Amino acid sequence: MKVPEKVCDKLYIEGQWVPSTGSGTIDVINASTEDVMGRIPEGTPADVDRAVAAARTAFESWSQTDPQERAKFLQALADGLGARNQEIAETICGEVGMPMFLAQLIQAGLPTAVAGSFVSLLDEFAFEERIGNSLVVREPVGVVGCITPWNYPLHQIIAKVAPALAAGCTVVLKPSEVAPLNAFILAEIVDSIALPAGVFNLVSGTGPEVGEAIAGHPDIDMVSFTGSTRAGKRVAELGAQTVKRVALELGGKSANILLDDLDDDELEKAARAGVGSCYLNSGQTCTAFTRMLVPRSKHDDIVDIVRDEVEKVYTIGDPAAGESRLGPLISDAQRSRVRGYIEKGIEEGATLVAGGPEQPEDLPTGYYVKPTVFANVDNAMTIAQEEIFGPVLSVIPYDDEDDAVRIANETAYGLSGGVWAHDPDRATAVARRVRTGQLEINGGSFNPLAPFGGYKQSGNGRELGRYGLEEFLETKSLQL
């Protein structure tokens, strides 16, 4: 599948496509072919100033619109995303490297569903309530700067933009410069539904230029950021200078606990599902279950199951062909980073069960990394503590339930995780002890209406559903 090169030579500010004040451009690279698949403007702080001024002006009227009026725009946005599902999927398949059948379901389908979810939420959300002699009202926080990542690019954009608009906020978006073309499709949809000028603005560019200009801008009331913990600390530092609200969704090193009461069939199901939870999007997922915690007595048996699953199911290849479960990584830099971690795991004494750091022989072009499994991993090892963001699974033995919980919590992160047990009540009890923002019980499915976010260095704030809407609201008390 050859997607035509998409050249985006203008930014979207105040309801118009306008040239950047700078002259630079950024090439967008296809992750599987290493060819240029598009080009975007390299925006400047001056562009951010223009976008913020437009958003500030638009806020005065947009913040006063009836929630049902905002819901109509969100429904039109969801419809527009659905109508361009194939184009969005093909674009993100090229940008990120997710296989097409998954890109259609997740990269294109999920943003459509999330945008639509806020339509019904607006119908039922209570923006005010009486408490004694007080009227407590929920008002939009103001102008919101959204800085988004490349791994689930459009989903992460919609998870911020949709609730911000639903709340009555106006938005300045900086998408990842590595996977930005989908954001320009979104801006085209926004333009087509006649959203009032200045309510949504798009400024593309790099983090050090556009991202930092947004995070530190005195006329931006809130920044919502998704990305690495290192970059999130910088956003928080800049945001603190104007005491703006900062919501952060950062890294993860999630544990998947397989408890010792699982029978043989349940254990096999859990182990095979755990591989998928680690390898989704070639491991480029902040919630990836990269640590599989297993009873020490069953470690070797589980490793055999995992090896079999990887060898039989997790083939790698051209994501556009639709024949493989794993595509490439996002970039050469990310491939080098992941290979470095694999080499570090070998150096530190973990047992390499599958994969390795070498380029797949049959895929000389593209940022591919073999699906890799390490066994006999100690939780103190680098591969068990640092976020790798690639298809690398660490199998870690534990002695008893308390030891499993200790290992799960012995990390700087706390974003996601899983617990598998024969007794679901036991699994739930163990999950309550894990310090993380979201856990799957016996493979429970993702719920786009449930709150999403992390503990510890995985960030603060919540996205999606009612909790995601509340992030963009201020609380005012009127004493009557």
Residue numbers annotated as active site: 249, 286
Residue 345 parent element (H or E): helix 332-347
Q: Taking the CA of residue 306 as centre, how many other CA atoms within 13 Å lie in the half-sphere pointing to its CB? A: 34
Task: Count other C-beta atoms under 10 Å from residue 223's C-beta.
Answer: 26
Residue 468, phi then psi, degrees to nearest 5: -70, -35
Q: How far apart are the first and last CA of the chain?
A: 64
Tokens (6 digits) for 133: 């002699």
CA distance 262 to 438: 22
Residue recorded with tokens 């969100």? 74
Distance of CA 217 to the CA centre of its chain: 24
Q: Taking the CA of residue 165 as centre, how many other CA atoms within 13 Å lie in the half-sphere pointing to its CB? A: 34
**CB 341, CB 386: distance < 8 Å:** yes
Nearest Cα residue to 424 out of 266, 303, 313, 240? 266
Contacts of residue 463, Cβ cutoff 8 Å, sequence gap at least 6: 159, 160, 163, 247, 249, 451, 452, 453, 471
Residue 257, phi then psi, degrees to nearest 5: -95, 120
DSSP 460: E
Q: Taking the CA of residue 171 as centre, how many other CA atoms within 13 Å lie in the half-sphere pointing to its CB? A: 29
Residue recorded with tokens 């949504």? 200
**CB 48, CB 96: distance < 8 Å:** no
Beta bridge partners of 257: 293, 419
